[in-house]
Amino acid sequence: MEDLTRRSLLCSAGAAVAAAGLVEGAAARTAPFGPDDPFDLVVRGGEVLDPSQNLKGRRDIGIRNALIAAVEPEIAASRGTQTLDAAGQLVLPGLIDFHAHVLPGGGIGLSGDELVPFTGTTTYVSAGDAGVGSFSAFKHFGIAQSRTRILAFLHISSIGLSGFPVGEMLNIDHARVDAAAKMLAENPEVLRRCAKKASLDT
């Protein structure tokens, strides 16, 4: 992790940001609906940014069954059961926060579900909230019960940040390297590794 910075991590994962949102809707466009069937919601007139498609421009978005079903230059307002005027606003895939604290009851953060309406962030990466001694509880009570996508970096300290504000590494015996490596290997769907070219898929 020599020259890995928050900025370089964000840059290297730019495509993954887009994959979390608008690009996912591509599959929905082939849903078994007629060309004139109504959308549940039409978001109209916003400036759409989708790096995965090199898209930046004014577009209307049709949403059906909670999935993006159309991204078009213009969708008639009459085709939406509801419409949302996004003129002058940015419309983009859900954002990813690579350094968050979302451990329930941890004392230094909020649940991801509480933050979404204010941040537009739909994926959070827990920055060492849990260590091997607390990760199972975090996975069950925090991650599994969250509507927001939560990934995590495992703390090398077995107690994670649960002892805050007392330093989690004041006792070097808390650094359980082998146990942390085992936990990482057993939970690849949630735990992420820090690497030079880290992304959400590594």
| Residue 195 maps to a domain | no
Contact by Cβ (8 Å): 161, 128: yes
Collapse the DSSP code of 91 into the 3-class scheme (helix H, G, I; strand E, B; otherwise coil) and give the result: strand
| Residue 120 maps to a domain | yes
Q: Of the ranges 69-73, 145-149, 165-169, which one carries the lowest mean pLDDT score? A: 165-169
Distance of CA 18 to the CA centre of its chain: 10
Radius of gyration in angstroms for the set of CA atoms belonging to the chain, rounded to a whole number: 20
Contact by Cβ (8 Å): 142, 118: no
Tokens at 127, concatenated: 């920055």
Let me know whether 121 and 60 are in one domain: no
Quick: pLDDT tens for 6-29: 444 444 444 344 434 554 444 444
Collapse the DSSP code of 180 into the 3-class scheme (helix H, G, I; strand E, B; otherwise coil) and give the result: helix
Share of the chain above pLDDT 90, in %: 43
Tokens at 79, concatenated: 């085709």
Quick: pLDDT tens for 50-74: 888 899 999 999 999 989 999 999 9
Let me know whether 138 and 81 are in one domain: no
DSSP state for residue 142 in the 8-state scheme: I
Let me know whether 106 and 182 are in one domain: yes
Domain interval for residue 35: 21-91
Pairing of strands 55-64, 67-72: antiparallel
Let me know whether 164 and 115 are in one domain: yes
Contact by Cβ (8 Å): 113, 166: no
pTM: predicted TM-score of the whole model, two decimal places: 0.66
Let me know whether 79 and 102 are in one domain: no
Let me know whether 173 and 158 are in one domain: yes
Let me know whether 73 and 117 are in one domain: no
51: domain CATH number is 2.30.40.10
| Residue 154 maps to a domain | yes
| Residue 162 maps to a domain | yes
Please give the mean pLDDT across all residues of the chain.
80
Contact by Cβ (8 Å): 126, 101: yes
Contact by Cβ (8 Å): 53, 22: yes
Q: How many domains does the chain have?
A: 2
| Residue 6 maps to a domain | no
Let me know whether 25 and 53 are in one domain: yes
Contact by Cβ (8 Å): 92, 25: no
| Residue 14 maps to a domain | no
pLDDT of 184 higher than 70 = yes
| Residue 77 maps to a domain | yes
176: domain CATH number is 3.30.110
Residues in Cβ contact with 154 at an 8 Å cutoff, skipping those fewer than 6 apart: 128, 130, 131, 132, 135, 180, 183, 184, 191
Let me know whether 113 and 179 are in one domain: yes
